[in-house]
Chains A and B, each alone.
Chain A
Amino acid sequence: MFWNKDIECIDEEKLRELQLERLKTTIKRAYEKVPYYKKKFDEAQVSPDDIIKLEDIRKIPFTSKADLREVYPFGMFASPLNEIVEIHMSSGTTGKPVVAGYTMSDIEIWAEVMARCLTMAGTTKDDIVQVAYGYGLFTGGFGVHYGARKIGAMIVPASAGNTRRQIEIMKDFGTTILTCTPSYALYMAEVAQEMGIESTTLKLKAGCFGAEMWTEAMRTEIEKRFNLNAYNIYGLTEIIGPGVAHECSEKKGLHVFEDHFLVEIIDPDTGDPVPDGKRGELVLTTLTREGMPMLRFRTRDITSIIRDKCACGRTFVRIERIRGRTDDMIKVRGVMIFPYQIEKAILEVQGVEPHYQIIITRPQHLDEIEVMVEMSKETFSDEVKHIENLRRKLEKRIEDITGIRVKVTLVEPKSLPRSEGKAKRIVDKRSLHD
């Protein structure tokens, strides 16, 4: 299903023309209205006039989270403050938060891209959309809200948390579309079970899940437990919030709304472009944002570009599911590992929803990883040798996938912390000040 078929299936050549025209306008606006950009351009000795073709974007300096923090709170705004109608903010777990400002037009664009996302998941005005992303400074709740409102669906602005009420609402209202983080969806399935509500009998038909990294295995689990189609949604506060990219019914990568966002993949170490299909850091440029144009923003998310034609008919390129973050890559004994690799290993061995936590320590001079895995009802045996065997299998599979030897500890179900937002998968206890 399409929200805006003309643009979503636009002829590729026309799309590139549109992008170039919008890129030039955005760069010019940024240079003229944002002193911070002007300073960076001047230092790099580039001028907006140097942009002749799309590839020329590589001449423009990158923008990082650190840049945004430096100009906190409003230094990146390209519109006067009285034209900014809404503010959002990223969580800011490390250092100052990042502030995003939206003009009326930006909010309209946000609603448009979110309407496309929800439509890709099958949402129409006949649906009941439960927004279990947080409302507030976080972009998740409002982003979905604006998109669903544009479609004209019935919105249930439940926000995150109060899980039992969420489930009661789903049951009593007959919610058809669920939007929340994937780990929260799994948590809700557990709580539903505790409440004696059979989650597969709820009326849910689809869900848009994102705002954290997840895996195909988690998708399978969510789909099974709620009997719905689970779609992957991508976005970030710095660019607009949710609605940068979304999966179509093929579920083979996320289409980036290229009329509004320009995609690049770079080598995070050198900054050079990497070829299509190769993984690297996702870099995004906004093409239509007024309030806060973002030029070559380094997302720190690891993915690759899929350029083959998609069976759904959309011409927008796809990115594969986010494979990790350059900053939550754990470097252990010099090797890069990602939580999703460990998750995959556990799922292969245990065959059920993995609840785990990765604990990194450095007892002497060598990093050690302990992976705590919750014992599942399905794999529990009352013989020590079987449990030991399970533990060894987990250790072996994790080592096969990551190349790192880890210690697996089996713990009781529900003993690891559950989050109602982003799952806390890694506890790094190393003191790295030496």
Chain B
Amino acid sequence: MKIKQLSVFLENKRGRLYEALKALSDANINIRALSIADTSEFGILRMIVTDPEKAKEILEKNEFTVKLTNVIAMAVKDKPGGLAESLKYLYDANINIEYIYAFVEKSGEKAVVVLRTENLDKTISILQDSNIKLLTWDDVLAL
């Protein structure tokens, strides 16, 4: 149930985001989801891509610092309160979220939420017990 996410260290310098994305585009790698955590000096680009291993290799070849991290992707109903309901289970279980970002799938019925918590295994079992749909890697590729 864990999904591989690609994280890239970006200095706050003109063109770095473009260069990273251009390298992926040249290698014909598609980005399913993306977010950037930014501070005044650097940013961390987080992406779900179609071929994470290859993407990592390509970015490293282009002198980027890259890391693959496990995250969870869950499907929540695209309606008010959809996400809050899911997070309530984690809140009740005392699990802290490290970061979270979301995108809407093509059909528009569900939103996909990517999250990383301090304890992924526990998070997975709690969400599954609460009947929240977690996406497998195949689900992600099919999006």
Interface residues of A (CB under 8 A from B): 375-377, 380-384, 387-388, 409-415
Contact = CB atoms under 8 A, between A and B. Distances in A.
B44 A411 contact: no
A412 B10 CA distance: 7
B67 interface: yes
A377 B44 CA distance: 14
Contacts of B11: 410-412, 415
A382 B39 contact: no
Contacts of B9: 375, 380, 387, 410, 412
Interface string B45-67: 01000000000000000011111
Given A410-B42, A412-B9, A412-B64, 10 more contacts: A375-B9, A376-B65, A380-B9, A380-B65, A380-B67, A382-B44, A383-B44, A384-B37, A387-B42, A412-B63
B98 interface: yes
A388 B9 CA distance: 13
B119 to A, nearest CB: 14
Contact of B69 (A382, A388, A410): A382
Nearest to A377: B65
B101 interface: no
Secondary structure type dominating chain B contacts = strand
A377 B5 CA distance: 16
A387 B10 contact: no
Sorted from nearest, which 4 A-B pairs have the closest CB atoms?
A382-B7, A380-B65, A412-B11, A382-B69
Contacts of A415: 11
Contacts of B42: 387, 410
B139 interface: no
A414 B44 contact: no
Contacts of A388: 39
Nearest to A409: B41
B41 A413 contact: no
Given A377-B65, A412-B10, A412-B63, A384 B41 contact: no
Given A383-B98, A383-B99, A388-B39, A413 B44 contact: no
A394 to B, nearest CB: 13
A375 B65 contact: yes
B88 to A, nearest CB: 23
B10 A382 contact: no
A60 B50 CA distance: 76
Contacts of A387: 9, 42, 44
B63 A413 contact: yes
A387 B41 CA distance: 11
A380 B64 CA distance: 11
A384 B9 CA distance: 10
Nearest to B68: A382
A413 B64 CA distance: 7
A381 B63 contact: no
A413 B67 contact: no
The winner among A384, A409, A413 for most chain B CB atoms within 10 A is A384
Nearest to B41: A409
B141 to A, nearest CB: 21
A415 B13 CA distance: 11
A383 B100 CA distance: 11
17 contacts: A376-B65, A377-B66, A377-B67, A380-B9, A380-B65, A381-B67, A382-B69, A383-B44, A384-B37, A384-B39, A387-B9, A387-B42, A410-B41, A412-B11, A412-B65, A413-B63, A415-B11
A263 to B, nearest CB: 45
